[in-house]
Every structure is written in C-alpha cells, then in structure tokens.
A and B are shown apart, each in its own frame.
Chain A
Amino acid sequence: AQKITQTQPGMFVQEKEAVTLDCTYDTSDPSYGLFWYKQPSSGEMIFLIYQGSYDQQNATEGRYSLNFQKARKSANLVISASQLGDSAMYFCAMREINTNAGKSTFGDGTTLTVKP
C-alpha cells in the first residue's frame, strides 16, 4: 500500500491567491514526522516545513502552513499569496521513527503552476 499519497498530479493557481496541496499518509507507527519539499526545475530539493506526529499545533513557516489532521491521516500544504517563483514540483514525505528503519517515504509529487 502507498504510504504517501498525493492525488493531484498538477495544480494551477492565480498569482497572489492561496493554494492547498493534498497529502495523505498511512502508518501504524505512533512516532513519525511529515515533511514538504519543493523541487524547482533545476532539480534541487528544498525543505519547506515539518510536522511531528505529537505536535499539537499546525506548523507554519512564512507563507507555508501545514493543515495536519491526524485522525484523517492528512497533511496538506497551504501556500498563501502565491508567487511566480512558487511554480515547482512539491513532494510530501514521511519518516517513521520506530518502523521502516527511520527511512523517508516520498509521494509522487504535485506540479504547481502559478499563473500571472
């Protein structure tokens, strides 16, 4: 079974608007972390935001916030006030502490295009 599911292969958003990128995950490990990375066309992977399984509040980093719904096993990324430079591929990833030898599992990604 897929551990990380990103159901949106591609998304479009108008500049200055907000956009939500979906991510659902599957784990039985009570201790895990959820991450979002951005991959521009250059190929580098840029860490954006992290949410721990025991964190009570949703993580925020500047224009990025993570809508963490633990019971639903979802960790959606919200980008506010989209900019042209946000156009990239976005990956959701999970790292389980006690199982899976602490390895990270990545989703298939969502390509975001910001329109002027």
Chain B
Amino acid sequence: DGGITQSPKYLFRKEGQNVTLSCEQNLNHDAMYWYRQDPGQGLRLIYYSQIVNDFQKGDIAEGYSVSREKKESFPLTVTSAQKNPTAFYLCASSNSGTSVHEQYFGPGTRLTVT
C-alpha cells in the first residue's frame, strides 16, 4: 500500500544529544514537509522540500536540519541547539505543481527529551 512511514513512533533522548527522525514515502510525491505539534496546538512548519536536493526553512527551523538526497526520504535531525525539542513530529508529502493538492501525513513520532 502507498503511504508515509515514520519511525520510531516513540523516541526518548537525553538532553544534548542529536536525534534523527525518519520519514519515507512511496507515493511518488515531489514535495515533503516536517511539522511540529505541541499539546493542544496546531501544526508549525519546520522545513519543506519541493524537489530532491533542495529544501527551505519553514517557520521554526532553528535547531533542526534536514536532507533530501532521495525523492522517497526526508529525514529530520533535531539538534542539541533546539531549546525545547519535546513534541510530536509529523511528516507529510504532496504532489507539487500549479494545482493544489492535499497533504498526506505519516503517523508521527513523539519525541521526549529529558
């Protein structure tokens, strides 16, 4: 089945460690996105990529990094510079282009940093 996978579902890290969240899609979508969601709040865009080997900062990129070496994969690294990394992270993908398309979301990763 086509879809987006994120692993792991739950992730625990000690403060000061970098951690990488995985996101893979087999929908053949050009565009991929990373969002952060804090409890009871909406989604905030961290980074997005509209094509392989290219990505742009979203609204809250500080303390995060990404890569887009393959169309299917868009991993997110939460660095030790991120002041408050504990959150729910959602990856999404969509077709890009001149028409508007909905985003398909992965199941998310809950990151807890202590």
Contact = CB atoms under 8 A, between A and B. Distances in A.
Interface string B102-114: 1111111010000
Interface in B23-54: 31, 33, 35, 40-43, 45, 48, 50
Given A43-B88, A103-B58, A52 B100 contact: yes
Contacts, number: 59
Contacts of A102: 31, 50, 96
Given A33-B100, A101-B56, A91 B43 contact: yes
Interface in A78-116: 91, 95, 97, 101-104, 106-109
A107 B43 CA distance: 8
Interface of B: 31, 33, 35, 40-43, 45, 48, 50, 56, 58, 88, 90, 92, 96, 98-108, 110
